[in-house]
A and B are shown apart, each in its own frame.
Chain A
Amino acid sequence: MSKPVRFPWLLAYAVAYLAFLYLPVLLLPLFSFNDGTIVAFPMKGFTLKWYAQLGAQDTLLQAMANSLIVGAVTALVATSLGLFAARAYVRYRFKGRELSEGLVMLPLVIPGIIVASSMLVLFISLGLKPSLTTVILGHVFVALPFAVSIMKSAFDDFDQSLEEAAFDLGESVIGTFRRVTLPIVAPGIVASLLVTFTVSFDEFVLAFFLSGNQPTLPVYIWSQIRFPAKLPNTLALGSLLLLASVLLLLTAEYFRRRSTKSAATSA
């Protein structure tokens, strides 16, 4: 007698859950090709015109440029700060280490509206007008925990004896960092740059409060989604952003894996 085939309930649940997760995400590309302005079934016909219109919208392109600038600067600053801090947390035992680690993770658990309102009040009090600069200052704050945790895992798998060998062979501190440490953790740095860029590129509430008359892309999208006539364009834009972020994420994942792999082979 063969055992009765058991229906894998958990697998079925997991697949249904994935469908739930992807439903709203895949809706955007689906309806971005719809030849009509209403997001409802049945769909009308296939068109690419919503995509074609995007390139002609100056405010959109300006917002995109703003987001790219903010994202790039945020990624560089947050990753640099995160690189050194993570190095300290993994490598050295010192008084205040746990306090410092707790502090840099704090931005993850403060509601966005509170961060946004309090930074607005601070910057205005300091005489800093809302601009891309204030958005960057805010974005570094929220991106830092991501940079620190990625860099920590990059340093976690790092073999200390390689650095000691470099010292023994007469390399200076800076030389060792540049020629031994940096190349090994480079994939982690790339992953951190990509992730912090993505975090900044998608961040809305802070940018909403702090960007003044220099909107970032999410702030621009926010201004568009109230108008039904703009809907198809927004869907097309959203689909392109989705594609871009999936590509970025897969690249980050590739580098993160290479980082753990190279650490494993060097150990």
Chain B
Amino acid sequence: MAGFLRTEAGKGLALSAPASLYVGLLVAAPLGILVAYSFWTQTYVEVDRTLTWANYLEAATDPLVRHLMLRSIAIAGAVTAATVALAYPIAYFIAFRTRKKTLWLLLITIPFWSSYLLRVFSWKLILGFNGVMNSALLSLGLIDEPLTFLLYNEFAVVLTLAHAWAPFAILPIYVSLQKIDRALLEAATDLGCSKLERFCRVTLPLSVPGIIAGSLIIFIPTVGDYVTPSLVGGSQGKMVANLIQVQFGPANNWPLGATLSLAAMAAVGCVALLFVILATALGRRIR
């Protein structure tokens, strides 16, 4: 044992073990218990530990569950698409069109470090009936009465999340653009590519890994976001996390909550996997 600890492998394992054991235990143990709970049922105050598929049956057949699950995936997909599309030009700008890269990166990350809760809440104040946007438009005389379609719907959720997750799209795309060998771009120009052609056939394909990474980092946590749908979503914008919270809180039905958590995780995993497969296939085709 002492001999093993002096080898390279031994030292590496010994040093990394506390961290990986911590994460490993806190991933595996709760999952195991969540799975166990998902097969139990809630009677009035007690948990009935007779194994049953009832929760899965309920989760699979309840139209509300299906509706919220699909809506969560759709909203997360829209957020991912919007965030990446908005982020790409700025990542491109920082990588190719400015020398003050560090300054720009810092400027982009600063808002991200302010309170997430208050940033989301701020959008509620901007988009609300008596909010900043409406009062500004009214006092400029552009509208006669407050717009009501701004807040409490999917649009507000997508906008707020696209704001909250912006750095997570910009940074990976910037990194992949920054890695591109500038000689390739010169070669493309020398071989007669127009600027647009050069972008479509060299720059864009080479930045696909950054786009994939950014998309996954945004999509996965967004599906399970709780704060944004509860603050700006209204009844049209509720997502699966809100339903899970209700089961663990007010409804006090932990077994069903556990089942929903597992179902959400499975759904996230499937969509993410599908996305990776599609994106790598696409990346190969462009190349």
Give residues in A with beta carbon < 8 Å to B.
8, 10-11, 13-14, 17-18, 20-25, 27-28, 31, 38-42, 81-82, 84-85, 87-89, 91-97, 99-101, 103-104, 106-115, 117-122, 125, 137, 140-141, 144, 148, 198, 202, 204-205, 208-209, 218, 221-222, 225, 234, 238, 241-242, 245-246, 248-249, 253
Q: List 7 A-B contacts (CB under 8 A).
A: A10-B97, A24-B122, A24-B126, A27-B122, A85-B15, A113-B226, A120-B248
Within 8 A of A (CB), among B200-238: 216-217, 220-221, 223-227, 231
- Is chain A's binding surface mostly helix, strand, loop or mixed? helix
Known: A112-B221, A202-B116. 8 other contacts (CB 8 A): A40-B130, A103-B20, A109-B220, A110-B221, A113-B244, A121-B37, A234-B118, A245-B113
Within 8 A of A (CB), among B19-34: 19-20, 22-24, 26-27, 29-31, 33-34
List chain B residues, Cβ under 8 A from A242.
114-115, 118
List chain A residues, Cβ under 8 A from B248.
117, 120, 209
In whole angstroms, what is the CA distance A91 to B244 when docked? 42
Residue with the highest number of chain B CB atoms closer than 10 Å, among A100, A106, A114, A137: A114
Q: How many residues of B contact A (CB 8 A)?
A: 81
| Residue contact B254 to A40, C-beta cutoff 8 Å | no
| Residue contact A85 to B122, C-beta cutoff 8 Å | no
B130 to chain A, nearest CB (A): 5
In whole angstroms, what is the CA distance A226 to B45 when docked? 30
List chain B residues, Cβ under 8 A from A100.
16, 19-20
CB-CB nearest 5 A-B residue pairs: A111-B224, A92-B12, A118-B30, A94-B12, A24-B122
Q: Beta-carbon contacts of B102-119 to A below 8 Å, as 1s and 0s? A: 001011111101111111
Q: Does B92 contact A (CB under 8 A)?
A: yes
Q: With A14-B93, A85-B15, A97-B16 given, is the CB distance from A246 to B113 under 8 Å? A: yes
In whole angstroms, what is the CA distance A104 to B115 when docked? 24
List chain A residues, Cβ under 8 A from B89.
10, 13-14, 17
Q: Does B185 contact A (CB under 8 A)?
A: no
List chain A residues, Cβ under 8 A from B20.
85, 99-100, 103-104
Q: Which of B8, B109, B227, B244 is within 8 Å of A93, CB to CB?
A: B8
List chain A residues, Cβ under 8 A from B111.
21-22, 25
A246 to chain B, nearest CB (A): 6
A15 to chain B, nearest CB (A): 10
Q: Does B258 contact A (CB under 8 A)?
A: yes
Q: Does B268 contact A (CB under 8 A)?
A: yes
In whole angstroms, what is the CA distance A18 to B19 when docked? 37
